[in-house]
Structure 1
Amino acid sequence: MVSLSDLRRCLAEGVPPGVGNEDSVRRQWWAALATLQDDFLLPRQPLQGLWLAAPLPALYEPELLRQLQGWVWAPRELQDLLPGSAALLPGSAPTGGGGSFHRLALEEGDGTDPLLLVITPQLQVALCLDGPAEARRLIVRFDPEALSAALGLIDGRLLAGNQEASGALRTALQRLGPLRSDDQLGMHFWPRMGERLAAMAPSLTLQPLVHGGTTRERLQGDASRAVSSELALLEALTHEVRTPLATIRTLIRSLLRRSDLPEVVRQRLEQIDGECSEQIDRFGLIFLAAELQREPGSEQPLERHALARTDLSAVLEHQHELWQRQLARRGLALELVIAEGLPQVLSDPARLETMLGGLIDRFSRTLTSGSTVTLSLSPAGSRLKLQLSSAGQPSEEPSPTQEGDGEARELVGPVLSWNPTTGSLQLSRQATQRLFHRLGGRLTERSGSGLTVFFPLC
């Protein structure tokens, strides 16, 4: 039988020997995954295609997992966690062959190095790690010859051990129709991956003892480099937190598809799933804020043509139940008040839901158990006014060096604030305002009157 080690050797043909250690290639792997998903797959909407991975699902973006059909070679010990054809997202049945994966068993000789193939009509790519210790390498192949040979090996493997899976894979490939390969993909991919890799940790550079310019210019330059390094470290930390949480959530949701789970186990797993989702979104916002802080001109809102018509009322109603569950875990209630017949606004709907969830989390962290958060949406001239308020909100005015709704918050770098009393770490007021400004909104935060965001009408 063809092994996955054979598949890796096939992909490695013609690739120079590796010179990295385990830590360096793992960092390259995560940078490559983030580049592939954020810069090449997510922008291609709507998306159809398939993915094959080992030893666990490599893709972690929910939007991709919903749309693409997958095959995962996993250890036999995970049989109970990864039932065959288990839908990744409970409650959302797969449509058009997407949003599910087939579980396949790893065999002796397959190895445990990560492997991923993604096939869509416009983009085909294979990624894997390979090589002995201290000679490790990341392999990324876009060329049709290598990918065709890899798929041939996979088909032979499935024909020998799982003909049903082989038929399903062939059907999925036929459904995609003609595949088009862009010869320039590699030229775009490697620079973007290099940028992400460089941003995953602050770089150490030796500065000459004698600087040109004035003392003030030197100090400004040193401060700028320090801030840039701090933001890079923050991006790296948030990425390292989100990725394992996404893997845990994938496994939990697969297990939740079982019908024989005791109710108490199901409840605990649903709690874990909710906590993972909340923290993934929370750290995703921190990552986005750090990334935005590093972009030139990020203080300006997106151009109108980059924003979309958004039914803000529908967004709030759709997310209401989720936000209610999240607040209930802290003993809080949520009341939603929406005026009738409201027009649409201009915003970025893909990021707006996460931003609003982060805003509710930021606001509710200052409240005591038993409080009720009121979220209201009403017209305000040429805008819609979204307001968060609560009778349980503190009313003291924070000092200039503090942040938050009357609580002692201390700034931690350019995008975070910290409450030393509760240990809560959140986006700073300035970073939150910047993110909403980027989405077309204007955030105001006043002690005693809650949070208000104004969105422009279409």
Structure 2
Amino acid sequence: MVSLLKLRHCLTAGVPPGTSTDDAARRQWWAALATLQEDFLLPLGEVSGLWLAAPLPALYEPALLQRLQGWVWSPAAIGTLLPPAPPRLLQSATGQSRGAVPGSGYHRLLLEEGDGDDPLLVIVTPQLQVALCLDGPAEGRRLVVRFDPEVLSEALSLMHQRLELSDPAAALELRTAVQQLGPLHSEPSLGLRFWPLLANRLARIAPSLTLQPLAAAAGGKPSQAEATASSAAQISELALLEALTHEVRTPLATIRTLIRSLLRRSDLPAVVRQRLEHIDGECSEQIDRFGLIFLAAELQRPLGQGQAQADLPLARTDLSELLGQLEGLWQRQLARRQLTLDLQITPDLPQVLSDPARLETMLGGLIDRFSRSLPAGTRVRLVLQPAGARLKLQLSSAGPVPVPGEPSPRGRELVGPVLSWDPSTGSLQLSRQATQQLFERLGGRLTERSGSGLTVFFPVYVPAA
């Protein structure tokens, strides 16, 4: 039988020996996964294709998991934790044979003795083909990424040979999936584009800790050297914040992928399913929250001379429809903290100018930021109504009557330019300044007044004459 170790030898042929520690190599692996998904695959839009991985699923973006067909070699020991492989060659509504439905789960295959346990991933789409793996001894680890067609063709051939011997039905599905992709095209410059993006991401998630904040001189205007040191310290703090958000989001995304695989099982007891759904919701909430913190930190980075923040492309967005789609999700999130949501939308509202994909995450972050410090039993009121040439989205709350003698909750305290800390709950949230900047990038204007909730104004979309 063809071992996955032989596949790694194919991918690493001609690659210089590694010099990294295992920890450093795995940071490179996670950064490479993020770069491939966020900078290469997601921009393709409605991409079709296939992926093969070991020893656990490597992809974690929900949109990609829904669109791409997958095969995962995993240890037999975790067989009870992953769903069974979906039925082979299901019949479609037209009566034609097809493979597993995209998004219904990946095929699970068993690792054999001699396969090794280092991670590997092969992705094949009509526009992009790539293979990557970790390899090497303990103090000589390396990340290997290959875009060259000859190596990828040999890698797919080895995987197909492996499946023909161990699972002929899966081998047939792999052949069919490759044939259905049609002609494959890969830009020769993919490698040249990938490595600088990976290096940039690594620079953000692995900041230097040699820059330390320096105390300003007592009294008087700071010197040029002190101002430079202060700016460098801020950059270091922002880089550390970006690193921490990445370190939180990445494993949470992997946990969520495994949880959703479990939820596809039909034999789960009701209480287990309920708890897994709760974990899935918490993971999604925290992934989105830390994603916003990461974006806010990037906006705080000082720009070089002559640089300007690139404006996001804004498009007409049906805010009423978006809120209606998100209402159920927000109800469930608030219910976990014993809160309720009252959504009121004025009928027949016009569309607004914004970025619907980013706006969904931003609105969820706003709900979380507003509600996290509210006491149990509070009703969160969300109202969308016209306001001249804008639409006004207003958040307010109505809660239980405070018990006499109970201390009033303290206000939020700033922790740098991006975060604020709520002493009453111990939670970190985006600061008012960072939240305002993010909404401005999405075409909105946020106002926040103590005791009267939050209000966001969005410009109404006006068709070109």
When normalised by structure 1's length, the TM-score is 0.90
Whether 1:226 aligns to 2:229 is no
Partner of 2:63: 63
Task: Give the Cα separation in 2 of the matches to 1:277 and 1:104.
Answer: 27
Provide closer, same or farther for how the CA distance between residues 310 and 393 of structure 1 changes in structure 2, counting only shifts above 3 A.
Answer: farther
| One-letter amino acid matched to 1:178 | P
Q: Which moved more, 1:371-380 or 1:219-228?
A: 219-228
Provide closer, same or farther for how the CA distance between residues 86 and 381 of structure 1 changes in structure 2, counting only shifts above 3 A.
Answer: farther
Partner of 1:247: 254
Please give the per-residue CA displacement for 1:217-271, whole angstroms capped at 9, x wherever unaligned.
Answer: 2122111111111111111111111111111111111111222211111111111
Whether 1:124 aligns to 2:129 is yes
Indicate if the aligned counterparts of 2:393 and 2:455 stay in contact, CA closer than 8 A. yes
Structure 1, unpaired ranges of 5+: 88-93, 208-213, 396-404
5 Å-filtered alignment, 1:53-452, equals 53-85=53-85, 97-99=101-103, 100-204=105-209, 216-294=223-301, 296=303, 302=311, 306-392=313-399, 407-452=410-455
Deviation at residue 66 of structure 1 after TM alignment: 1.5
Deviation at residue 206 of structure 1 after TM alignment: 8.2
Task: Give the Cα separation in 1 of the matches to 2:257 and 2:380.
Answer: 31
Structure 2, unpaired ranges of 5+: 88-97, 213-220, 403-407
Partner of 2:91: none
Task: Give the Cα separation in 2 of the matches to 1:289 and 1:118.
Answer: 31
Secondary structure of the structure 2 residue equivalent to 1:179? coil
Please give the per-residue CA displacement for 1:128-157, whole angstroms capped at 9, x wherever unaligned.
Answer: 000111111100000001100100100000
Q: What is the RMSD computed on CA atoms of the aligned residues?
A: 2.3
Deviation at residue 294 of structure 1 after TM alignment: 2.2
Provide closer, same or farther for how the CA distance between residues 232 and 390 of structure 1 changes in structure 2, counting only shifts above 3 A.
Answer: same
Task: Give the Cα separation in 1 of the matches to 2:133 and 2:301.
Answer: 30
Task: Give the Cα separation in 2 of the matches to 1:394 and 1:240.
Answer: 40
Q: Which moved more, 1:283-292 or 1:440-449?
A: 283-292
Please give the per-residue CA displacement for 1:279-309, whole angstroms capped at 9, x wherever unaligned.
Answer: 1111111112112222739996835xx1121
Partner of 2:3: 3
Task: Give the Cα separation in 1 of the matches to 2:155 and 2:167.
Answer: 17
Secondary structure of the structure 2 residue equivalent to 1:43? helix
Task: Give the Cα separation in 2 of the matches to 1:252 and 1:57.
Answer: 12
When normalised by structure 2's length, the TM-score is 0.89
Secondary structure of the structure 1 residue equivalent to 2:152? helix
5 Å-filtered alignment, 1:32-71, equals 32-71=32-71
Provide closer, same or farther for how the CA distance between residues 335 and 71 of structure 1 changes in structure 2, counting only shifts above 3 A.
Answer: same
Q: Which moved more, 1:122-131 or 1:281-290?
A: 281-290
Task: Give the Cα separation in 2 of the matches to 1:105 and 1:327.
Answer: 40
Partner of 2:215: none
Secondary structure of the structure 2 residue equivalent to 1:113? coil
Task: Give the Cα separation in 2 of the matches to 1:96 and 1:258.
Answer: 15
Task: Give the Cα separation in 1 of the matches to 2:222 and 2:425.
Answer: 40
Provide closer, same or farther for how the CA distance between residues 146 and 287 of structure 1 changes in structure 2, counting only shifts above 3 A.
Answer: same
Secondary structure of the structure 2 residue equivalent to 1:390? strand
Partner of 2:18: 18
Deviation at residue 325 of structure 1 after TM alignment: 0.6
Deviation at residue 457 of structure 1 after TM alignment: 1.4
Q: Which moved more, 1:196-205 or 1:330-339?
A: 196-205
| One-letter amino acid matched to 2:425 | T
Provide closer, same or farther for how the CA distance between residues 295 and 179 of structure 1 changes in structure 2, counting only shifts above 3 A.
Answer: farther
Please give the per-residue CA displacement for 1:321-365, whole angstroms capped at 9, x wherever unaligned.
Answer: 110011011111000000110111111111111110110011112
Calculate percent identity across the aligned residue pairs. 70
Indicate if the aligned counterparts of 2:409 and 2:424 stay in contact, CA closer than 8 A. no
Task: Give the Cα separation in 2 of the matches to 1:215 and 1:295.
Answer: 19
Counterpart pick for 2:457 among 445, 454, 457: 454
| One-letter amino acid matched to 1:419 | D
Provide closer, same or farther for how the CA distance between residues 98 and 259 of structure 1 changes in structure 2, counting only shifts above 3 A.
Answer: closer
Task: Give the Cα separation in 2 of the matches to 1:289 and 1:279.
Answer: 15
Indicate if the aligned counterparts of 2:123 and 2:130 stay in contact, CA closer than 8 A. yes
